Structure 1
Amino acid sequence: MASNVLGSHNGMKFTFHILILWRHAFVSDAFDVTVPKTALLGIHSHSIVLGCSFNVIGDFSLEHFLINWQRTENNEVVHSYHYGKDQLGQQSKQYSGRTSLFPGEFKNGNVSLVLDGLRVEDAGQYMCYVSSTMGSAKGTVSLRVAAYYKEPELQVKLQSSSVTYVITSQGYPKASVFWQCAEDNNTFKPEVLFAETEDGLYTLRSTLEVANTLTYCNHIVEIHNHLVNQTIIRKFHLFIPLSGRMEAHGQVGSSYIWIVLSLFLLVTAAILILKMWLNVKKQHKQQDKTMSV
């Protein structure tokens, strides 16, 4: 009888342990992290929230609760939280003073990261890792960074037979540039150069040289930043009167005329001086003959 009771007790104990293990496995499998499925787009020098959340199971406790954000490309620590406070001793210098969490939202499963003062080098992959008594899980957030192009500046350079237009602006990433003549839809192929600035942006410089015969055009320049769906369209017209064109063409000719005229005057002056010298010499000879007689 006693052995039956003992066997029954051991069976219940074994079943109880199985239930505990099964419950723990169920809770661990159910714990998960949710992050955005598509890449986030941040604007240079602005702030952005990298979303990350976990499903709260049962009573939430900060005990053994850990959050770690880091870059997947190089494992740099972006922000860490455990023992009930931020742990920034191992934080990368690149992110110093620029990150924060929402401690009041932890109980709701919100472990999103705020990143201030976005830089070009912030673009990349961020891993959100969460660990607690409920389990542990991680997810990856993709971030892209862009900067709107500034209002372009126009410079015009007049030559004798052509006009050069220079457009400059600044933004990120590299933009597409198109030039067109509105009257005949003629598309030009300008020179486009990009130079990187100290803060990682691009300075755009587009140069277009056209013959004076095309100055009748209403020129259209378009700058496209596809990452932020930005399009800048500017239209301008340079009118050069016929007299102005003649003057422009005549600048080289007039210079040539002045050079020829100066040479002519110098030669004429030299001839006159030579004639005067010869006349004086001739008079001296005649005087000498008269005195000798």
Structure 2
Amino acid sequence: MNMDLQRGHNRMRYLLPVLIVWGQLLLSDAIDDTAPETTLIGIHHQSIVLGCRFATHDGFQLENLIITWQRVEHDEVVHSYYYGKDQTSHQSEQYSGRTSLFPEEFKHGNASLKLEGVRAEDAGQYICFVSTISGSAEETVFLNFAAYYKDTQLLIKLQPSSTTFILESQGYPEASVLWYCAEDKNVLLKPHTSFVPREDGLYSLRSVLEVDHAKTNCNHIVEINNILVNQTVTRKFNLLLPRIQENNTDRRWCIALGSCLLVFAAIIVLILVIYKHQERKAGEKTKPEFI
């Protein structure tokens, strides 16, 4: 029972600024039913401004201004302003110390919110409620989350008959990864690509391509395409795989030929030794015996 009361108390604490806004909206009898929607992309660890506009009038006073930014999915208060100052006591802990308004812009009808250090959990729907004596405004903002793929690492493992390429990076969301031959982009190679979620909300990318020297003869290119932020990361690497294979083959032929020559020479020497030995024994038999 105590837990239910605590949840109810927390919900009312978050909804209090919203109730204040709607109360003043009803009293003003000037509700604006239009609610423009905007979609923005927040970049990992960067700041972003969520826009919100409202109409001003002559004699506009800050004391009568109420601004509430709310997260729709969780009924959380992102930022609230009334009684002429920011009200942080009702703010969700997720946004504590990360949000701010632009008080110098209030007179121009600007209630935009600045969000610093964007995180993956910030993605979602936001509503801006604004109320003044003369009317009200409401705007909805959809915030998507993205992170550039960077710190790309390419590892190369050489084997006698094949080469393994391992590409690693981090970013968000899942990107498309293409491996192909520089000589013909239509010749797509087939790597094994995986995306593993990290604690910070990003994905760890790992793409592994094994190339058979006997089947693939081209210069390789790998592309990471993060469409959400229009990012393309390209890595090109030139390995003379056929030449490596030919050199190994030539080396094997030289070793085989050298071995054959040594065996042939040994046979000739053996034949000569046997011939000399037999010739010596035949000479000893033809010598006259003296009494």
Q: Same fold (TM over 0.5)?
A: yes
Distance in 2 between residues matched to 1:220 and 1:236, nearest whole Å: 7
Distance in 1 between residues matched to 2:252 and 2:200, nearest whole Å: 45
How far off is 1:158 after superposition?
A: 2.2
Q: 1:134 to 1:249 in 2, by over 3 A?
A: farther
Q: 2:234 maps to which residue?
A: 233
How far off is 1:63 after superposition?
A: 2.8
Letter in 2 for 1:182: A
The structure with the larger Rg is 1
How far off is 1:247 after superposition?
A: 9.8
How far off is 1:180 after superposition?
A: 0.5
Distance in 1 between residues matched to 2:175 and 2:71, nearest whole Å: 27
Q: 1:31–1:55: 8 Å Cα contact kept in structure 2?
A: no
Q: 1:155 maps to which residue?
A: 155
Q: 2:245 maps to which residue?
A: 242
Write the mapping of 1:13-52 to structure 2, written as runs, cut at 5 A.
28-29=29-30, 37-52=37-52
Over residues 177-219 of structure 1, what are the superposed CA-to-partner deviations in whole Å (9 max), with x where a residue is unaligned?
Answer: 0011123442112111111122111111001111012463100
Question: In the alignment, does 2:80 pair up with 1:80?
Answer: yes
Q: 2:192–2:207: 8 Å Cα contact kept in structure 1?
A: yes
Q: 1:216–1:238: 8 Å Cα contact kept in structure 2?
A: no
Distance in 1 between residues matched to 2:58 and 2:35, nearest whole Å: 18
| TM-score of the aligned structures, taking structure 2 as reference length | 0.71
Partner of 2:144, secondary structure, is strand
Over residues 228-249 of structure 1, what are the superposed CA-to-partner deviations in whole Å (9 max), with x where a residue is unaligned?
Answer: 1111122112224236544999
Q: 1:171 maps to which residue?
A: 171
Q: 1:49–1:115: 8 Å Cα contact kept in structure 2?
A: yes
Distance in 1 between residues matched to 2:143 and 2:60, nearest whole Å: 30
The size of the alignment, in residue pairs, is: 225
Q: 1:215 to 1:147 in 2, by over 3 A?
A: same
Distance in 2 between residues matched to 1:247 and 1:196, nearest whole Å: 48
How far off is 1:28 after superposition?
A: 4.2
Q: 1:103 maps to which residue?
A: 103
How far off is 1:65 after superposition?
A: 2.0
| TM-score of the aligned structures, taking structure 1 as reference length | 0.70
Write the mapping of 1:256-275 to structure 2, written as runs, cut at 5 A.
none
How far off is 1:29 after superposition?
A: 3.6
Distance in 1 between residues matched to 2:80 and 2:97, nearest whole Å: 13
Q: 2:146 maps to which residue?
A: 146
Distance in 2 between residues matched to 1:32 and 1:55, nearest whole Å: 14
Distance in 1 between residues matched to 2:164 and 2:188, nearest whole Å: 16
Distance in 2 between residues matched to 1:68 and 1:38, nearest whole Å: 17
Letter in 1 for 2:190: K
Distance in 2 between residues matched to 1:167 and 1:73, nearest whole Å: 37
Question: In the alignment, does 2:200 pair up with 1:199?
Answer: yes
Q: 1:155 to 1:170 in 2, by over 3 A?
A: same
Distance in 2 between residues matched to 1:65 and 1:33, nearest whole Å: 19
How far off is 1:160 after superposition?
A: 3.6
Partner of 1:105, secondary structure, is helix
Q: 2:161–2:245: 8 Å Cα contact kept in structure 1?
A: no
Q: 1:156–1:164: 8 Å Cα contact kept in structure 2?
A: yes
Percent identity (aligned): 56
How far off is 1:111 after superposition?
A: 0.6
Partner of 1:54, secondary structure, is coil
Letter in 1 for 2:226: N
CA RMSD in angstroms comes to 2.6
Q: 1:247 to 1:131 in 2, by over 3 A?
A: farther
Q: 1:34–1:54: 8 Å Cα contact kept in structure 2?
A: no
Q: 1:289 maps to which residue?
A: none
How far off is 1:123 after superposition?
A: 1.0
How far off is 1:161 after superposition?
A: 2.6
Q: 1:34–1:52: 8 Å Cα contact kept in structure 2?
A: no
Distance in 1 between residues matched to 2:176 and 2:206, nearest whole Å: 11
Partner of 1:67, secondary structure, is strand
Over residues 95-118 of structure 1, what are the superposed CA-to-partner deviations in whole Å (9 max), with x where a residue is unaligned?
Answer: 111000011111211110000001
Letter in 1 for 2:235: R
Q: 1:98 to 1:248 in 2, by over 3 A?
A: farther
Q: 2:47–2:118: 8 Å Cα contact kept in structure 1?
A: yes
Question: In the alignment, does 2:133 pair up with 1:133?
Answer: yes
Q: 1:156–1:163: 8 Å Cα contact kept in structure 2?
A: yes
Q: 1:17 maps to which residue?
A: none
